[in-house]
Amino acid sequence: MTTNTPSSAATAIDRLDPLRWAKTSPLQRLRLLETVRENCRAYAEELARADATMKNELMGEELYSISTSKVATVVPIANTLSACIELYEHLAQDEMMEPASITQVADGLFDVQVAPRGHRERLMNPHQRQVLRVRGEPTQISPMDKPAGIIAVLGAGNYSSSLEMVKALFLANCAVVHKPHKLNRHTDKVWAKIFAPLVEHQALSFLESDPDRSLNTDARLSRIYFTGGTSTALRIMESTDTPLVSECGGNNPCIVVPGDRAWTDKEMQHQAIQIATTAKMNGGAVCGRVQTIVTSKHWPQRDQFLAALRKAIVADTPAAGTYYPSSDQVAEDFKNAYPDAEVLEPEDGSYRSGVFLLITGAEEDGYATRHEAFTQIIDEVPLDVAANAAEFLPHAVDFANTKLLGTLGCSVLIDEDTKKAHQAVLDRAVSDLRYGGIAVNTMPPFIFLSPYLTWGGNEGGREFVSGQGNFGNLLCFQDVEKSIMTDHFTSAGHMMNTNKAGFDAFSEDYARYALNPSWINLTRLMGEALVGNLRRRDF
C-alpha cells in the first residue's frame, strides 16, 4: 500500500475504499482505534514539537512550550479516540451506549444527559453536566447503520488536532480524505504516521495542504467538513453541490449575571482568571473563546469585576503568544474603532506578541459586537437594565441573539445562590439563547473538546455566519438543537493558568491521562492540579 501524501485530490480519493470501511466490523474498528491511540502516545513529543515550533517561528518569540502544545494537539484527539473506544466496545457487543438520563423539558423538547460517564469522569468533574437538547423523541442511530461515503475534512488553521477526521470515520461511518491548513502541514505529516493503520485500511487518505482545488468539486464526495472563515465557507458552497458541514466561529458572549448577593473577592478573582485563561488560549485564536462580556450597567460590582479582569490579564496569568496571520491588522482595526481601548502588557511587556486589548463600556450595536476578533481582544458591553437576574437575563439573551455576530458559543456566569433562587429564569435563558453551545459556569471551548457534545452554530435560517450543521455527538442522537454544559460557579475543574511551570506539568499529566485513562494517571493528574493551585506565580 502506498502511503506517501499525494498532491492530487483525485489520487487521494482513489486510495479510499468506503465500502470496505463500511463493512469493517466494530471489533476490527476497535483494534484500529487502540492502535492509533498507541501511535499517538509514541509520536506525542514529535507532534507537540512541530506545533510549538510553527507558532514560535511565526511570532519570532518562544512562548509556546512543547507541554502546552500537547494540550492543543494530543489531548483533544486522545480524548476523542478514548471515547470512540468505549463506543465500539459497546458496538462489538451489539449494543449502543446509553445516556445517563433523558428528561422532557417542554413539548417535543428533551434534555439527554450524555456525560460525565464512569467513576473517573465523575471524579474529575463532580459538578459538571453535559446535555444534548434534542427536538422530538430522542433517537439514536448506530454508526454501523449509517450509509457509506467519503467525507473531505478541510482542517482548521488555528489547531492541528483535526477531531473531525476521527468523527467522520467512527461516528459518520465514512472514509475520509484530509487536507490540512497550510499552517499545519508539518504536524499533518506526524498525524499521517499516527493514523497509518487507517491509511493502510483504505479508510483515510492525507492530501497536501496546497494541491489543485478540485477536491471540493469531486463527485465522489458525500460531504465536506470545514472549519475556518465564513467567507471561505461561502466560496466552498458556491463551488459545489456537495453538502457542507461547517464551523466558522463568531463573537461569543459571556453573560455575567448580577448576584442576589455580592460576589466575594475570591469568587471575583476566580471568574476573572477563568475568562483571562480562556481568552489567551492559543493567542486568542480559538473559535469558542468569549469575546464580548455582557454586564449590567447598574451592577454595583461592575467596576470591581473589570478591575479583577484587568489584573487577571496583566498580572495573574502569563503572557500568551498571538501568532495567527492577520491578527495585527485585526487589533489595529479594533484600536481605530476604539481609540480609548486599554493596551495591556502581561509580564511587563516582555513579549511583543503578548499584548492584550481590553475595551470597556462598548456600545450595544457597534464595531466590537459586529466583528469577531479571533485574537487577544475582549470587549465589555454594559446593558442599561436593572442589576437583578430576573430582569437582566432576558435582556442579555435578547442582546446576544440580536446584536452579536454569529451563533457558536455562549457562556453564562451565575453564582450558586442566585442560580438556586432564579433557576426558572436561567432555564428559560438557556432555552432562548440561539447558540450551538451554552456553557453555564464554564467556557464554550470545553464544549468543543467534549466528544459527547455537538459543536457548531445554531443559525436556524438566519444569515450564514457560524456555519451549518455540527460535529461530534458520540452517542449519535438525531435532531440535536444545541449542547449544554453546566458546572459549579467556582469549580476546581476550571482551567486556570496562573503558573507557567505548573501549567506545563499539568499539561504533561493531562496528555498522559488522555492517552492512557487509568486510575494511576488520573491520580497524578489530580495531584498536580491540587499542587498547581498552591504554586506562586513564576512570571
Q: Model confidence at 2, in pLDDT bands (50, 70, 90)?
A: very low
Q: What is the pLDDT of residues 356-405, one digit of tens each?
A: 999 999 999 999 999 999 999 999 999 999 999 999 999 999 999 999 99
Q: What is the pLDDT of residues 15-40, one digit of tens each?
A: 999 999 999 999 999 999 999 999 99
- Residue 212 predicted with pLDDT over 70: no
Rounded Cα gap, residues 419 and 341, in angstroms: 33
pLDDT value at residue 3: 54
Q: Model confidence at 144, in pLDDT bands (50, 70, 90)?
A: very high
- Residue 1 predicted with pLDDT over 70: no
Q: Model confidence at 518, in pLDDT bands (50, 70, 90)?
A: very high
Q: What is the pLDDT of residues 304-350, one digit of tens each?
A: 999 999 999 999 999 999 999 999 999 999 999 999 999 999 999 99
Burial 445-477 (b: 16+ CB within 10 A, else e): bbbbbbbbbbbbbbbeeeebbbbbbbbbbbbbb
To the question of pTM greater than 0.85 for the whole model, the response is yes
pLDDT value at residue 162: 81
Instruction: Compute CA distances 367 → 280, 292, 372, 381, 410, whole Å.
Output: 21, 11, 9, 12, 19
- Residue 161 predicted with pLDDT over 80: no
pLDDT value at residue 211: 65
Q: What is the pLDDT of residues 442-467, one digit of tens each?
A: 999 999 999 999 999 998 878 899 99
The C-alpha cell that represents 328 in the structure block: 495585527
For residues 293-300, give the mean pLDDT. Answer: 99
For residues 220-246, give the mean pLDDT. Answer: 96
Q: What is the pLDDT of residues 467-499, one digit of tens each?
A: 999 999 999 999 999 999 999 999 999 999 999
The C-alpha cell that represents 430 in the structure block: 438557556
| In this structure, CATH architecture of domain 9-43+52-58+89-93+142-247 | 3-Layer(aba) Sandwich (3.40)
For residues 195-201, give the mean pLDDT. Answer: 98
Helix axis angle for 500-515 and 26-42, nearest 10°, is: 150
User: What's the mean per-residue pLDDT of the chain?
Assistant: 96
Task: Give residue limits of the domains in the chain.
Answer: 9-43+52-58+89-93+142-247, 253-429, 500-534
Under 8 Å CB-to-CB from 396, ≥6 apart: which residues?
Answer: 253, 255, 257, 294, 383, 385, 429
The C-alpha cell that represents 456 in the structure block: 457548531
Q: Which CATH superfamily is domain 253-429 in?
A: Aldehyde Dehydrogenase; Chain A, domain 2 (3.40.309.10)
